[in-house]
Amino acid sequence: MAVQLILLTHGQIGASVLAEAETILGRLPLKVIQKSVDQSQAERIVPAELCAELQAYDRGDGVLVLTDLYGATPCNCLEKEARAQPRLAIVSGLNLPMLLRSLNYADKPLAELARIAADGAIKGIQVIGI
* Amino acid at position 20, single letter: E
Q: Is residue 83 part of a domain?
A: yes
Helix (H, G, I), strand (E, B) or coil at 83: helix
Q: Is residue 129 part of a domain?
A: no
Place 114 in a pLDDT band, splitting at 50, 70 and 90: very high
Query: For residue 1, what pLDDT is reported?
Result: 65
Q: Are 99 and 121 in contact (CB under 8 A)?
A: no
Q: Is residue 128 part of a domain?
A: no
Q: Give pLDDT tens digits for 42-56.
A: 667 767 777 778 778
Closest CA to 98 of 115, 79, 75: 115
Based on the structure, what is the number of domains in the chain?
1
Weakest-pLDDT range from 1-5, 11-15, 72-76: 72-76
- Give the CATH number, domain containing residue 39: 3.40.50.510
Q: Are 75 and 66 in contact (CB under 8 A)?
A: no
Q: In DSSP terms, which residues pair with 64 in a beta bridge?
A: 5, 89
Which residues form the domain of 108? 4-123
Q: Is residue 60 part of a domain?
A: yes
Q: Are 8 and 78 in contact (CB under 8 A)?
A: yes
Q: Is residue 90 part of a domain?
A: yes
Mean model confidence pLDDT for the chain: 89
Q: Give pLDDT tens digits for 44-88.
A: 776 777 777 877 888 889 999 999 989 887 788 788 877 888 888
Q: Is residue 130 part of a domain?
A: no
